[in-house]
Each structure stands twice: as C-alpha cells, then as structure tokens.
Amino acid sequence: MKETIVNEINANVNKKFENLGRKTQSLEKVIEEQKTLTDKMENQLKQRNVKFFGLEENKKHYKELEEKIVSIINDCMKIPCEKRDIEYVKRIGINQDGKIRPVLVTANTMGHKINILKNSKYLKETGLYIKEHYIHKILQRRKELHEEYKSRKQKGEKIVMRRDKIITLYTKQSKENNLFTKECNYQKNTNKRKPIFSPETEKTPYRNILNTAKKNKTIESA
C-alpha cells in the first residue's frame, strides 16, 4: 500500500515536471519570436540613420546643428541637400568635457542615406567621418568579426565589412581566375562525356549501304 502511494506521488511529480518543461519551451519560443520582431522594428527605425563623428560641439541649438549638417552634405560631400531632406539631427551619448559626441542624422529617404554613405570619401580632408547606425545585435557581430577582417586585410585580400558579414570584392584578377577555373572545369567535363557516336551507331551507315545495295540488286533482277 505504502509503495503504491509513493509511486503515485512520483508519477504526479514527473507529470508536473513534464508540463512545466513544455510550458518553459513554449515561453522560450515566444520570447525568441518577440526578440526577432523587436530587432526587425529597431532595424527599420535605424535603417535611414547615419552617425557623423568629429563635428565640434559649438552648435548649441537644434537649428544651428541642422544647418551645419546640411552645409557639410552640400559643400563637402557634393550632394544636393536641403533641410527637408533631413528628418532629424541629434547629439548622442553622454556629454563629457573634452569628448566630442557623434551626431545622429536621419535622412528622409533611403536613397539620400545611401548617397551620403557613398560620398563619405570626401570627408577625409575635413577630419570628419561617417558610420552606419546599427542595432546592438549587428554591432556585437561586427566586433566578433573584427580580428578576422583585420587579419585577412593584412594578407592583401580585397574585402569589406557590410553590416554583419565580410564580403569579398571581385577584382579584375579574381574575375580572370574565376573564368580560368570555369574553363578548366568545362574542359574536364567535356573530356568525360561519351563520344557522339557509339560503336553501334558508327556501324549503322555501313549497314544502310548494304541494305540499299541489296534492294537495288533485287530491282535489277526483276
């Protein structure tokens, strides 16, 4: 009797643990889905953002900062820009003495943001530089890839880091090597192919000639 009661208790406890495990898995799935959705929403909010670094903090008001950014985009970066092309500008980070905070700039369109990134090369002589505004997840991944990127760059590889991936650039030499490899593979595959005419098909024309000759001989005899 005592053993039966103990077994029943153990069975009930095991059942409760199983139910608890299923609920935990279900909650983990919901949390993961919510996290993915949050990342997507954050990415959408930041996808038109760029950060300007090195701009002195002598502009006290929003209007002055906005005018300065518009001026830089027009004059330094050679991109036609008006105030209406910029949705928002703001200093980000903690305000500390001697530290210049970056300026967050939100473009009105994705196309305008892309143009700003493309023409960032014109800022080299100004002491300013630009970075994209990534979500935390992508920033962490970029940090993880930094050493690999640095090592491959030192080896002379033509690569760039875009978002959370290292992309290999195709130079003229790499294209030629790629074409050469394809040609070699094509030749190998061609050599492996069977001949167009098998031994049996090669005999076919000769058989046709014999059959035709026999027919002609029969006609002449008639």
User: For the chain, what is the domain count?
Assistant: 2
Residue 129 and residue 48 share a domain:
yes
Residue 58 lies in a domain: yes
202: CB partners within 8 A, 6+ apart:
none
Tens-digit pLDDT profile for residues 17-54: 788 888 888 888 888 888 778 777 777 778 899 999 99
Model's pTM, two decimal places? 0.58
| Residue 21 domain-assigned (yes or no) | no
Q: Is the pLDDT of residue 15 over 60?
A: yes
Q: What is the pLDDT of residues 103-143, one digit of tens each?
A: 999 999 999 999 999 999 999 889 999 998 888 888 888 88
| Cα 127 to Cα 33: distance, rounded to the nearest angstrom | 42
Residues spanned by the domain of 198: 174-221
